[in-house]
Amino acid sequence: MGAMAVEEPLTPPAPSRRRLVAPLTATALVLALLVAGGIVAFVVSQSSGSDAPPVAGPFVTPGATNPVAVFDVREANGGTLTLLPANIEGEALTTTLQAGVRLEAFAPGQPSRIEPGQWLVFTGEGDPVRNYVIRQVIAIAEPGAPLADGLARSPAGFIGTELLSNPNHRPVLWGLVESVTYYPTDGGADVTLAGPDGPITVEIYQGVTLFFVESYDAPITDGDRIAIRAPAGTSPANAGAILVAPQGAR
């Protein structure tokens, strides 16, 4: 019997001029990422000896990533910062960063900047009808090998999600970019990721919130947000690396 398509209950995405093809070893997974918090739609096809649809698995919300301390910069004077905790309730503190601390930052970008060899993380939240509302896409230009959680890190050790302000937002899809087809007429791109069971093709429209995690040599300034890999509230005085969201880039 030929392959059958089973579609999870979804809000259908807006029509597109481009058709996505996502060959996988056991299933075909097609995703459409819509502009500014769109729906990621899952369509699964698999060979079967019965006309009955496969039983849907349990909906699982991705877990929290490693602990982070996030701060809003109230005042910056060189390497001395007055900070207010951003992901817990806490008092402002003033601290001086150690010399040589490594800085990386969010740099807003367009789909045309995505290239093979980069690592993409799609962050958002799920709902009970198996839609994923994507809030932003994060690209790491020089990723390391994925760790036990399946996520790659930047050279300074960041996933890119450390600066998420909403605790309900999680990585929901990620992978190494294998190929990119860019469409200059609409500014979007079809990006093929290396998935666990084969390639996954994602359609990204121009206008989606997209940040690149890059080395940063500008000073931290008033209004920036910073994150370190440490329990919430930990002072960044002894941090070896800091991820910066310059004012307006989050």
CATH number of domain containing 88: 2.40.50
Using CA atoms, how far apart are residues 151 and 140, in angstroms rounded to an integer? 11
Mean pLDDT score of the chain, rounded to an integer? 78
Q: Has residue 79 been placed in a domain? A: yes
Q: Has residue 234 been placed in a domain? A: yes
Q: Has residue 96 been placed in a domain? A: yes
- pLDDT tens digit sequence for 85-137: 998 888 999 999 999 999 999 999 999 999 999 999 999 887 777 677 788 99
**126 vs 207, residue with greater confidence:** 207
**How many domains would you assign to the chain?**
1
Q: Has residue 28 been placed in a domain? A: no
Percent of the chain at pLDDT exceeding 70: 72
- The mean pLDDT of 149-168, rounded to a whole number, is 88
Amino acid at 67: P
Which two structure tokens, joined as six digits, stand for 97?
């960063």
Q: Has residue 222 been placed in a domain? A: yes
Is the whole model's pTM more than 0.85, yes or no? no
Using CA atoms, how far apart are residues 106 and 85, in angstroms rounded to an integer? 19
Sign of torsion over alpha carbons 94, 99, 101, 106 = positive
- The mean pLDDT of 44-60, rounded to a whole number, is 44
Using CA atoms, how far apart are residues 101 and 165, in angstroms rounded to an integer? 23
Q: Has residue 44 been placed in a domain? A: no
Domain holding 219, by residue range, is 69-105+214-245
Q: Has residue 82 been placed in a domain? A: yes
Q: Has residue 237 been placed in a domain? A: yes
